[in-house]
């Protein structure tokens, strides 16, 4: 396992930066430029690169899609959210249509935001490609076919030119898939979701999204600490604040940055990446959450090794 690349990081539904949001960033950048010598391209680049991320960029709005870069020729992806469309476009640009590719596609659960990108996944329409879908739900195949039936979508699933396979994976046991050791864990979410633990060449990545952590259940904390144990990277559903997750949005199936830090500390994980961002949060709010989460880790660390904290954005690549 070499790296993880994020193609979609938003929860629930895609969002886009609108005109007022773009304008606000331009205004903030221009205000900061006042009095500076920006007379060369190099000076402009240096100035822009030094701006805060939420001013110079955006976290993005595609729904869940994360690529595991394993170092092998075959591709590994978690979830089929709208981020699967740009991933597919990048694969076609890189490999063309005449070089058969294999895609291993792991699905956390079957809610719309986690499967909506599949009808727009270009490689699926190309004969010679191979798509293997993995998941813990018995209804994985029917859910993927159903979203492409009339009146929901004009192109039926059967139009795919690639070969299609479905593999059901039982939770709590190790599977050998695509050169990796893979373990699933059932999570609290409407209709269930499954977290994934990927192990390869001594590296461990956890993909745990759409997972509510029930603080009243004493077995929950040690069970997830064990599932996350020693991970190099934990991709974690931090959609809500802890106050929201324990009050008005209790039982909505999501978790918080606070619980993410606590579980990663208990698991002695190396890095926590906040994921599945609330669609209502703008770039400034997400940047603030990252800073606050880093501070929470700092004040709760004690004598333990620091836990790195990052937050996912569309296009982020984390080297393991």
Partner 1 sequence: MQFASCRFGNVAVAMPSGRLDHTVAADFEAALMPLAGDVRHAGIVLDLARVDYLSSVSLRVLMLAAKATHARKARIAAVALQPIVAEIFAISRFDSVFEMFPSLAVALSAMSPDARAAYDTSVAASG
Stretch that binds partner 1, among 176-184, 237-245, 269-277, 304-312 (CB under 8 A): 237-245
By the rule CB under 8 A, 102 interacts with partner 1:
no
d(CA 126, CA 162): 5
- Tokens of residue 53, six digits: 């991320």
Nearer to partner 1, 161 or 222 (CB): 222
By the rule CB under 8 A, 221 interacts with partner 1:
yes
> Pairing relation of β-strands 233-237 and 271-275?
parallel
CB of 224 to partner 1, least distance (A): 12
By the rule CB under 8 A, 256 interacts with partner 1:
yes
Three-state SS for 237?
strand
CB of 3 to partner 1, least distance (A): 29
147, 94, 142, 150: which is closest to 117 by C-alpha? 147
Return the residue matching tokens 């802890």: 242
- State the first-to-last Cα distance of the chain, in angstroms, to the nearest integer: 7
CB of 228 to partner 1, least distance (A): 15
Nearer to partner 1, 70 or 255 (CB): 255
- Tokens of residue 237, six digits: 């559903």
Three-state SS for 163?
strand
Query: Do 312 and 283 touch, CB atoms closer than 8 A?
Result: no
- Name, in order, each residue with C-beta under 8 angstroms of 33's C-beta and a sequence gap of 6 or more: 47
The number of CA neighbours under 13 Å toward the Cβ of 281 is: 24
DSSP 144-161: HHHTTSTTT-SS-GGG--
Question: What is the total residue count of the chain?
Answer: 320
d(CA 275, CA 315): 13
Question: Which residue in 29, 38, 51, 215 binds partner 1 (CB under 8 A)?
Answer: 215
Question: Which residue in 98, 216, 305, 319 binds partner 1 (CB under 8 A)?
Answer: 216
Stretch that binds partner 1, among 64-72, 102-110, 230-238, 241-249 (CB under 8 A): 241-249
d(CA 316, CA 309): 14
By the rule CB under 8 A, 293 interacts with partner 1:
yes
CB of 268 to partner 1, least distance (A): 16
By the rule CB under 8 A, 234 interacts with partner 1:
no
By the rule CB under 8 A, 72 interacts with partner 1:
no
Question: Which residue in 48, 90, 167, 242 binds partner 1 (CB under 8 A)?
Answer: 242
Q: What mask of x and - would describe binding to partner 1 in positions 167 to 206, judged by CB under 8 A?
A: ----------------------------------------
Stretch that binds partner 1, among 7-15, 102-110, 137-145, 236-244 (CB under 8 A): 236-244
Question: Which residue in 23, 36, 186, 295 binds partner 1 (CB under 8 A)?
Answer: 295
What residues line the site for partner 1 (CB under 8 A)? 215-216, 221, 241-244, 246-247, 256-259, 262, 292-293, 295-296, 299-300
């Amino acid at each position: 396992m070499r790296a993880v690349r994020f193609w979609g990081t938003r929860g629930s539904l895609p969002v886009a930066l609108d005109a007022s949001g773009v304008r606000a960033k331009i205004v903030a950048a221009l205000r900061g430029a006042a009095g500076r010598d920006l007379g060369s391209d190099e000076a402009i680049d240096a100035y822009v690169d030094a701006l805060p991320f939420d001013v110079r960029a955006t976290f993005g709005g595609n729904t869940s899609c994360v690529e595991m870069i394993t170092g092998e020729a075959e591709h590994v992806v978690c979830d089929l959210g709208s981020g699967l469309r740009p991933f597919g476009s990048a694969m076609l640009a890189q490999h063309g249509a005449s070089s058969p590719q294999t895609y291993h596609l792991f699905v956390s659960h079957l809610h719309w935001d986690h499967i909506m990108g599949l009808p727009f996944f270009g490689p699926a329409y190309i004969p010679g490609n191979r798509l293997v879908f993995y998941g813990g739900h018995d209804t994985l195949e029917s859910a993927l076919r159903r979203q492409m039936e009339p009146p929901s979508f004009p192109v039926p699933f059967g139009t795919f030119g690639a070969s299609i396979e479905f593999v059901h994976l039982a939770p709590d046991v190790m599977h050998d898939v695509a050169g990796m050791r893979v373990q699933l864990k059932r999570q609290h979410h409407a209709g269930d979701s499954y977290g994934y633990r990927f192990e390869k060449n001594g590296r461990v990545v956890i993909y745990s999204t759409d997972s509510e952590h029930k603080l009243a259940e004493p077995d929950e904390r040690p069970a997830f600490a064990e599932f996350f144990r020693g991970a190099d990277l934990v991709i974690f559903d931090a959609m809500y604040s802890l106050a929201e997750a324990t009050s008005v949005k209790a039982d909505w199936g999501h978790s918080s940055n606070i619980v993410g830090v606590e579980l990663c500390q208990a698991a002695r994980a190396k890095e926590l990446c906040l994921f599945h961002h609330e669609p209502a949060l703008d770039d400034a709010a997400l940047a603030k959450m990252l800073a606050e989460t880093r501070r929470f880790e700092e004040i709760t660390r004690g004598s333990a090794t620091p836990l790195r904290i990052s937050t996912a954005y569309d296009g982020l690549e984390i080297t393991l």
